[in-house]
Amino acid sequence: MSTLSEVIHCPNCKEDVPRTLYCLNCGYPLYKLEQEKKAEDQTEDSVTETEPAVKVDMSIEYEPPQETSRAEEPETSSEPEEEPMTEPELEAEIEIEEEPETVSEPEEEPETIYEPEPVYEPEVEPEVEPALMTLEDREEYMMDEIMIEFAPDPLTKEIMDNLAKNITLKVRLVRLLRDNAVKEETFRKLFDSYVDQGRLWVSRREDIIRRFKADLERMENEVVSARKDFELLEIRKNIGDAGDDEYGVKAPAYKWDIENLDTEINKCKGGIQYMVNLKSLVPGEEIAELESLGQTDYSDLDNIEGVTSDTIAGMKETLAEALNTLQG
């Protein structure tokens, strides 16, 4: 592959990037710039050639070919006429047809009786209603329901999208250096900037995860306390210690606290799961390449010719951090 040593200014993201088919930063097709330049040069040097017009002599009148009448042509048939059969021949054919044909009967084989195999139907476990579940089963059940409906806020989505894009750009830039498609100096300039940006997005992501976990711990303690208070109220009502007026005021409040806290707890768990599941936002090709390099301890990068050991060491460290971030 030819070595590309120049840096081109991307008209879309307004940044200097290596001269490749697409911008490594925003994906803009840079090859269109070269095509437009070549098209302008060809337009100036090209000479328009026109072919001489073909003149048609209109003085000659067109005479359509005369059709011959099919009625005048004698009809000829290539099929030979069948001669009528004589009476002896007809009688011979009738006698031959009347002769009975002897058909040999096939030998009867003994019938084989196949007994149907028993069909074992799998036992279907009865569905357990959320109200009859244990605390852990109920939380897991609610977790599945919340994950489907969870939608991140704009700030959280922006952090995750930028972090996924940062990892993708770093893997693609390493691929260019490995294929000798970019010089080491240009690579270091872009790669170092991607490393700084990536660490910023990772730090913000960790802050949000810590906030989710702190809220989750606080709400779990509150819901445990609310369930205990409601259980005590039920016991007091059953033994006559709590009257209908007290039960009618406190019971709905406890139930509302428990239901509301359950919903908020599951939303919080859904947010943590969203922040951890970064693989869903990174292209599969880059994930596969990153995991493949990690399985060999990034030893494939040692074979890049003309690259200093410091650059290779920096790539290994950065790619290892990116893989750990993807794996949560």
Q: Is the pTM of this model over 0.75?
A: no
Residues 289, 18, 173, CA angle at the centre, nearest 5°? 15
3-state SS assignment for residue 311: helix
What single-letter amino acid sits at 312? Answer: I
Number of Cβ atoms within 10 Å of the Cβ of 300 = 11
> Is the CB of residue 274 less than 8 Å from the CB of residue 164?
no
The confidence score (pLDDT) of residue 44 equals: 62
DSSP annotation string for 104-173 = PPPPPPPPPPPPPPPP-PPPPPPPPPGGGS-HHHHHHHHHHHHHHH----HHHHHHHHHHHHHHHHHHHH
Tokens of 22: 């697409």
20 or 88: which leads in pLDDT: 20
**What is the per-residue pLDDT across 143-196, written as a single tens digit (0 to 9) for each?**
444 444 578 889 999 999 999 999 999 999 999 999 889 999 999 999 999 999
What would the pLDDT profile of 248-268 be if each residue is shown by its tens digit?
999 999 999 999 999 999 999
Looking up tokens 């090709």, which residue turns up?
285
Locate 295 and state its tokens. Answer: 């399985």
- Residue 140 is predicted with a pLDDT of 55
Tell me: pLDDT of 68 over 70.
no
Residue 39: which pLDDT band, with cuts at 50, 70 and 90?
Answer: confident
Q: Residue 17 pairs with which residues in a beta bridge? A: 8
Domains and CATH numbers, the chain: 7-39 (no CATH), 134-326 (1.10.287)
